[in-house]
Chains A and B, each alone.
Chain A
Amino acid sequence: MTEQPGSSAAGDGGWEPVIGLEVHCELRTETKLFCGCRNAFGDEPNTNVCPVCLGLPGSLPVLNAMAVDYAMRIGTALHCEIRPSLFHRKNYFYPDMPKDYQISQFDEPINVNGWLELPDGSRVGVERAHMEEDTGKTTHVGGGGRIHDAQHSLVDYNRAGVPLVEIVSRPDIRSSLQARLYAAELRGILIATGASDGRMEEGSMRVDANVSVRRPNDELGTRCEIKNLNSLRSLVRAIEYEISRQVDVLESGGTVLQQTRHWDENEGQTVALRSKEEAFDYRYFPEPDLVRVVPDTTWQSEVAAAVGPMPADRREKLAALLGPDGATAAKADQIATVVENGLDVLMTKAVHAGIGAPLALARTANEASAEPDRARALDTAAYTALLRMEQDGSLSATQAKVVLADLLDRGGDPAALARDHGFEALGADSLSGVIDELIAAHPNEWTRYVDGDDKLTGFFTGQAMKATQQKANGKAVAAELRRRRG
């Protein structure tokens, strides 16, 4: 990640990509947006349903106050203006939409005019972040799993009515890499607010990209909207593909058509879904079954107070723990990883308990971040105890990583886990004995070492490891050698 995110990544013969992202995130409410059904992922199909979220005749929506709370937290975190808002109906026929209209916010959204600062300091404008309900989920059976050649389709309405916030960025993004940073940073913010768990793989965070290209300072080019981006990796690939596709079209004298395009992960290309002319006329009009949402100032200030520190502030705090080192690119990357995974509290507690910041950062950004969910659930005292064993030399780095993997996997007492692996640190006496034997066996090497050839530290450490079946601590061996040389 050495490229400058703020600059144009394409460099395709002077074309500048212009990118805006639309991010849908599911809110972590207990219940759905307009009814009391459970909002849960992965339950048996059609078990979390009722007359309201099935759109049965005569049913009426009632707005979930917690969803409004979460939406305002997101708006607050994105520096938006929070306004009285209105729900509209977005009308179109689709089998997984129970009412054949979606209740969404249209021209009076709850959050407008915000911005998000990326780790590199660049800012991306946020046009709006509005509330809406999710649709059900259709599974097409038979054929290729697509609606057109399916034998039949199954619809699960558990997701119908799950609260969403859609965050629409301004077209301020200029590269696939910056798009990735934006999505990752936004994900961190969503998690930090408690509003969403930001899991792209489960679809609780879904990204659509609007991509166009132009000559720098020209008017905006014609854009295409790319759908089906299920990971940060496909976001980057799809944007890069789309940029070069549009550049090819323009350079061969063609015009880019305004289209909605589908990202095909296997083929590595975007495919046209529908053109502007085929676009739906959604016939938006104010939802007559709901009243205006006017959060009072008390509620708004409660929300502002409930929103925890944002990733940018948290990165700053971790960097401060590291001193001047915290500003280097390598450390900044590690810090970003720790914050993104919500492990800054874990790391900070370890440092405050006396663990050196560089060691705490290394373990938290690497091993712990490989299993972020488990790491967040980790017992802080156990984590700190393990790092202390590494710091004081009772465990080697390699051994500490093995024990940490165990700790993440099943928890427990790190000392006991280390014993299970036979990682009992050699006592100072036995280490001394081992070194006596090594000196006796390698007199020439010892003489050269005593004469100042430091390269032989590695030789003796290696021999000590071999002799102790890796139980010796490298640092302790080096220290003992230095002590004897005087």
Chain B
Amino acid sequence: MTSALTLAEQVRSGTVSATEIVERHLAAIDESDGAVHAFLTVLHDAARRQAAEVDRLVAAGQDPGPLAGVPVGLKDNLCTRGVPTTCSSLILDGWCPPYDATVVQRLRAAGAVAVGKTNLDEFAMGSSTENSAFGPTRNPYAADRVPGGSSGGSAAAVSAGLVPLALGSDTGGSIRQPAALCGVVGMKPTYGTVSRYGLIAFASSLDQIGPFSTTVADAAALFEVMAGHDPLDSTSLNRPAPRSMGSLDDGVDGLRVGLPRELIDGVAPEVAARVAQAAEVLDAAGATVTECSIPELSYGLSAYYLLAPAEASSNLSRYDGVRYGLRVDGDDVEAMMRATREAGFGAEVKRRIMLGTYALSAGYYDAYYGQAQKVRTLIINAFDHAYRNADVLLGATTPTTAFPLGDKVDDPMAMYLSDVCTVPSNLAGHPAISIPFGTDAAGLPIGVQVLASALCEPLVFRVATVLESAAPPVTAPALAAATWSAP
């Protein structure tokens, strides 16, 4: 697949029109997405209008933006004005936000063209995209396997070549895990660098929007377009976002790379082998690789599955049938709210609302929510300690490669374990990236993860660029669209 930056350059230089690029990708979606089901809504008309606008700017000699004419998929928990935004939930079926998320505005301003809204686990709760009220997305490398989740639609869309760029949201690994399983680049920025305004909240203190792409440079470019202070988000950092584009090729000579055994032990042997191989690449490129241990990371998953549901139980209260979305009538207002929520939410969402409600209840708060907050602090301190001896950490993104559809739907605990390597970065608010690094024997993609401390995005992208250049060659996915080509 032609990289986003290459496409943008073609548009900016007038070699290819935005319209031509967008038409090519819309055709690919129309032809191939039936098998993948990455998209819930395809924005044919809006995308064509926007491409025409980019072409008009180019023709007028005006700057069409750094991502001019690049088709982008938006996870369907990002608000788009006048366009259905469902969170893959029946409770929001048909709801059209009256406003655009800040990232959607920034993408448009950069010349990118939103071509559709992508599938996800309902309200971003899940690791397989099977918890979508509108049916699962399939892994482009194996149609009978999951793409990961919750941003499975965005990951699969990029993987299959339907779009060069997509946005996801990452609360406990929801960008990095599907990126690993679909063989694409997926990055979670530092909490507060990308505005959450217009991202439908799952767990507000953990959610962060980030890029999917086929190359590290594309991910860095998309991140730079999105990042930066937004007065509409109080948790948005009031400082310039870190710039990475200028230092992508600076290499890793002299960098200290830590290999925490908690991000390697217990993962599938083939995944662990790829991490070891990646460590050798960095070592050969001049970095000092050291094994280390951060024992606190092993408590991350337990803390995460208390904090995230607790926040979610409150964030999802507003879906009560009173103002928007689904309403199921009842004898009185309470009966109406009950019936609406009973009918509108899927099983996993209900499970997490109940977990979170319980964790916040009088008499249990200290033992659950309070304790989990303490663990969160411990993990932050442990990371700080680790970063005294390492500039970045390297580990697995996921314990396994893509698992078969239906494999874990009846075993939530097994599903939750998919997030074990990714959750710590969310708890700490740190950046992390997953980049494709070979496959297992069955040809399923494997991702390795690079982690760094807050606002160290430039370092993350630098290391990822080195790994990308030495990664084993990529094979075309089984469900590749005509637009797919090796990066």
Contact = CB atoms under 8 A, between A and B. Distances in A.
Interface string B219-245: 000000000000111110000000000
A91 B360 contact: yes
Looking at chain B's contact residues, the main secondary structure is: loop
Given A58-B198, A89-B314, A288-B205, A281 B234 contact: no
Interface of B: 77-79, 85, 87, 92, 95, 97-99, 101, 196-201, 203-205, 231-235, 310-311, 313-314, 317-318, 320, 322-324, 332-334, 337, 357, 360-362, 365, 369
Contact of B317 (A51, A62, A101, A155): A101
Using C-beta atoms within 8 Å of the partner chain, give the interface range for chain A: 20 to 34
A290 B234 contact: yes
B333 A57 contact: no
B360 to A, nearest CB: 4
Nearest to A153: B333
A59 interface: yes
B201 A58 contact: yes
A165 B231 CA distance: 24
Looking at chain A's contact residues, the main secondary structure is: loop
Nearest to A290: B234
A151 to B, nearest CB: 11
A57 B79 contact: yes
A98 B318 CA distance: 6
Contact of B204 (A51, A281, A288): A288
B356 to A, nearest CB: 9
B98 A51 contact: yes
A147 interface: yes
B361 A283 contact: yes
B345 to A, nearest CB: 14
**When A and B form their complex, which 6 residue pairs have the shortest distance between CB atoms, in order from nearest?**
A100-B317, A283-B360, A288-B205, A288-B204, A58-B79, A57-B200
Given A51-B97, A62-B234, 16 more contacts: A51-B98, A55-B323, A57-B95, A57-B201, A58-B79, A58-B85, A58-B199, A62-B232, A93-B317, A93-B337, A155-B322, A281-B361, A285-B311, A288-B205, A288-B235, A291-B235
B200 A285 contact: no
A57 B92 contact: yes
Contact of A283 (B97, B318, B320, B357): B357
Interface string A87-118: 00101010100111100000000000000000
A56 B232 CA distance: 14
B79 A289 contact: no
A354 B321 CA distance: 66
B360 A285 contact: yes
A434 interface: no
A60 B322 contact: no
Contacts of B318: 55, 57, 98-100
B314 A51 contact: no
A60 B233 contact: yes
Contacts of A61: 234
B200 A58 contact: yes
30 contacts: A51-B97, A54-B323, A57-B79, A57-B87, A57-B95, A57-B201, A58-B77, A58-B78, A58-B79, A58-B197, A58-B199, A59-B198, A60-B196, A60-B232, A62-B234, A89-B314, A91-B313, A91-B314, A93-B334, A95-B320, A95-B322, A98-B318, A101-B314, A148-B332, A284-B360, A285-B311, A285-B365, A288-B204, A289-B201, A289-B234
Nearest to B360: A283
Interface string A318-355: 00000000000000000000000000000000000000
Contacts of A100: 317-318, 320
B23 to A, nearest CB: 30
Interface string A42-72: 0000000001001111111111000000000
Nearest to A285: B360
A405 B369 CA distance: 63
Contacts of A54: 323
A99 B201 CA distance: 12
Contacts of A283: 313-314, 357, 360-362, 365
A41 B323 CA distance: 22
Interface in A264-301: 281, 283-285, 288-291
B79 A285 contact: no
A207 B199 CA distance: 38
B319 to A, nearest CB: 8
Interface string A387-399: 0000000000000
A288 B311 contact: yes
A281 B365 CA distance: 11
Nearest to B373: A286
A85 B95 CA distance: 36
A148 B333 CA distance: 10
A98 B317 CA distance: 9
B176 to A, nearest CB: 21
Given A57-B200, A93-B320, A291 B234 contact: yes
Nearest to B195: A60
B317 A99 contact: yes
Contacts of A284: 360
Most buried by A among B95, B323, B324, B369: B323
Nearest to B238: A291
Nearest to B98: A51
Contact of A51 (B77, B99, B311, B322): B99
Contacts of A57: 79, 85, 87, 92, 95, 97, 200-201, 318
A22 to B, nearest CB: 20
Contacts of A99: 317-318
Most buried by B among A63, A91, A148: A91
A62 B334 CA distance: 30
B67 to A, nearest CB: 22
A59 B200 CA distance: 8
Contacts of A60: 196-197, 232-235
B336 to A, nearest CB: 9
B84 to A, nearest CB: 12
Contacts of B365: 283, 285
Nearest to A95: B322
Contact of A289 (B204, B332, B334, B362): B204
Interface string A431-462: 00000000000000000000000000000000
Given A285-B360, A285-B369, A56 B98 contact: yes
A60 B231 CA distance: 10
